[in-house]
Amino acid sequence: MTYTKRLDGRALNELRPMKARTGVIPNADGSAEFIIGKTQAIAAVYGPREMFPKFKQNPRSGILRCFYSMMPFSGSGERIRPGTSRRSQEIALVMTKALEPVVDLSAFPNAVVDVFVEFPQTDAGTRCAAISAAAMALADAGIPMKDMVSAVAVGQVDGTVVADLTYDEEAYDGIVSDIPVAMIHNTKELTLLQMDGEISKAQLMKALQLAKEATEKIYAEQVRALKEKFAPDQRKAGQSEE
């Protein structure tokens, strides 16, 4: 084991500095910004609105669609090619599957809710930041939700289990595993579990426990951002009732 001190000086279980805001895009039905370290995700929600083309409509429920995009000069590595790619489509599908268990669109048959996530800047953990931002944006839009989803990447760097890997850690010269995890807050159910790299069963269980603790911190930041926007309205409503 050679990786005992993280490259950016953080503790093994420490997340990068976080910042979350809602209502950042005035013309969207709901929006949010989630920043973790140098990774910045901006999510916008539009809908429920009628689904086109009509043959894709579901007469029993609305449909959730997610879109993921990185700006050309947002990456820590090579320049990102503009437009859709196989990777962006795969992550968009991962986002949709991670959020669907908590989103209830049964009251909106034949409708669609679109979630667009853009990245002006990235330094690893983009799919997790996208999910966390999208969940806040859906709540900001007033979409019925059973719970909140929070996401973080954990893994191991040369034998040491860490939380919230950076781009430099992913590229570390040694055995590295990157494990994106999304978790429902109350039930602790996983809605996303992927892995790139190698890890032992014991380390995987340790990493998942670390993810459970880390998503609690992200959840707290998500809730703080939502309360920051809606709490003043609640206070006004309470005063008017008096």
Within a domain: residue 11? no
133 in any annotated domain: yes
Give the Cα separation of 235 and 107 in Å (integer).
29
Rounded mean pLDDT of 8-13? 95
10 Å CB burial of residue 206 (0-12, 13-18, 19+) is middle
Q: How many other CB atoms are found less than 10 A from the CB of residue 96?
A: 19
Residue 70 falls within a domain, yes or no? yes
Mean pLDDT of the chain: 92
Lowest-pLDDT choice from 70-74, 91-95, 133-137 = 70-74
Per-residue confidence (pLDDT) for residue 4, from 0 to 100: 84
**Rounded distance, CA 49 to CA 108, Å?**
9
Give dist(CA 183, CA 99) in Å, integer: 10
Residue 108 confidence (pLDDT)? 97
CATH number of domain containing 226:
3.30.230.70
DSSP 103: B
Residue 242, in any domain of the structure:
no
Rounded CA-CA distance 228/197 in Å is 39
What pLDDT does 217 receive? 98
Is residue 88 one of the residues assigned to a domain? yes
Residue 10 lies in a domain: no
* Residue-level pLDDT at 104: 98
Over residues 2-27, mean pLDDT: 94
Residue 2, domain member (yes or no): no
pLDDT, position 1: 54
Is residue 84 assigned to a domain?
yes
C-beta neighbour count of 187 within 10 angstroms: 11
pLDDT at 145 over 70: yes
Domain count, the chain: 1
By residue range, what is the domain housing residue 205? Answer: 18-231
- Please tell me the least confidently modeled range out of 27-31, 80-84, 218-222: 80-84
- pLDDT reported for residue 165: 96
Predicted local distance difference test score (pLDDT) of residue 234? 52
How far apart, in whole angstroms, are the C-alpha atoms of residue 37 and residue 165?
Answer: 10
Residue 80's pLDDT band (boundaries 50, 70, 90)? low
Q: Give backbone dihedrals phi and psi of 150, rounded to 5 degrees, phi first.
A: -125, 145
Per-residue pLDDT, 12: 96
Q: How confident is the model at residue 81 (pLDDT cuts 50, 70, 90)?
A: low
